[in-house]
Amino acid sequence: MTDLQPLDILRASPLFSGLERTTLERMARALTPERWPKHTEILPAAYTARRFVIIGAGRVKVVVGNARNGRELTLWLLGPGDGLDVVGLLDGQPHAASAWTLDEVQALSGPVPLLREWLERYAPFRLAMYRFVARQLRSLAELAGDLALHDTTTRLARLLLRHVSGHARSRGSNRLYELPHEELAGMIGSVRVVVNRVLARLRRESVIELHAGRVSLIDLNRLLRRAEEHLGQLPVRAADRRRARRK
């Protein structure tokens, strides 16, 4: 992996768009370049209120886990341009989640008080951070809805629709690229063996292709129907329950 310059990381991040070059240069000098190997914990829960990280290259998952059964739930899958952890940045309290690399990762990090000072000082940075937080809140709302309302097949279909859109998606634009099925399971609150079965069924139905660790869509309309079918059934089932109670 080619070494990225701190200024280039900031210029490529939507979080820092709208800031003048001199401001970005000053920020870049104040941040610490970081490089972590694959499958490394880069931000334990206890440190989320101390350090803020801006990703320059590679993917990072933010997870909560159950130490008793080893299960994990991935809250966010982050990539170049994203920041973590915004929860600790905004409220100053440790976040009950940790961050792990899925690839070799290059990033910049800085103390939370410094980033909070920048939020107060620079309006474009503050606005960009609000938009990023809004996207993360929307993502959490979708995850909560999926877990509460949908079966595993529907949850996986919706995950694929959010991240994959056909054969031509490149490694850089598809954040699910070469992720083990165990990681996909963690993103939808399931387990690997169940996800394996669902992917195999979708492949037999000619909805997807699996090749070299990559999932490609070959029938978008069918996957859309699969993702929406549960929503279509909910009102009918609710009406059926109401009629049953009246009888």
Contacts by residues 3-9 (CB-CB < 8 Å, ≥ 24 positions apart): 3/106, 4/56, 4/57, 4/106, 6/31, 6/33, 6/108, 8/56, 9/54, 9/56, 9/106, 9/107, 9/108
Partners of residue 72 on adjacent β-strands: 65
Predicted local confidence at residue 10, as pLDDT: 97
Predicted local confidence at residue 81, as pLDDT: 95
Residues 6+ apart with CB under 8 A from 49: 88, 92, 93, 94, 95, 112
Query: Which domains does the chain carry?
Result: 6-138 (2.60.120.10), 150-246 (1.10.10.10)
For residues 83 and 56, give the distance between their C-alpha atoms in angstroms, rounded to a whole number.
Answer: 9
Predicted local confidence at residue 213, as pLDDT: 66
Global pTM value? 0.82
Predicted local confidence at residue 165, as pLDDT: 52
Predicted local confidence at residue 244, as pLDDT: 35
For residues 202 and 209, give the distance between their C-alpha atoms in angstroms, rounded to a whole number.
Answer: 8
Predicted local confidence at residue 172, as pLDDT: 46
Per DSSP, helices labelled H in 33-151 are 86-91, 112-121, 123-149
With beta carbons less than 8 A apart as the criterion, state whether 55 and 100 touch: no
Predicted local confidence at residue 54, as pLDDT: 97
CA gyration radius, the chain? 20
Q: What is the pLDDT along the chain (247 residues), one digit of tens a residue?
A: 688 999 999 999 999 999 999 999 999 999 999 999 999 999 888 888 899 999 999 999 999 988 788 788 999 999 999 999 888 888 888 888 889 999 999 999 999 999 999 999 999 999 999 999 999 999 999 999 999 988 898 899 888 888 765 443 444 457 888 888 899 999 999 999 999 999 998 888 888 888 766 777 788 788 887 777 654 443 433 443 443 344 3
Predicted local confidence at residue 20, as pLDDT: 95
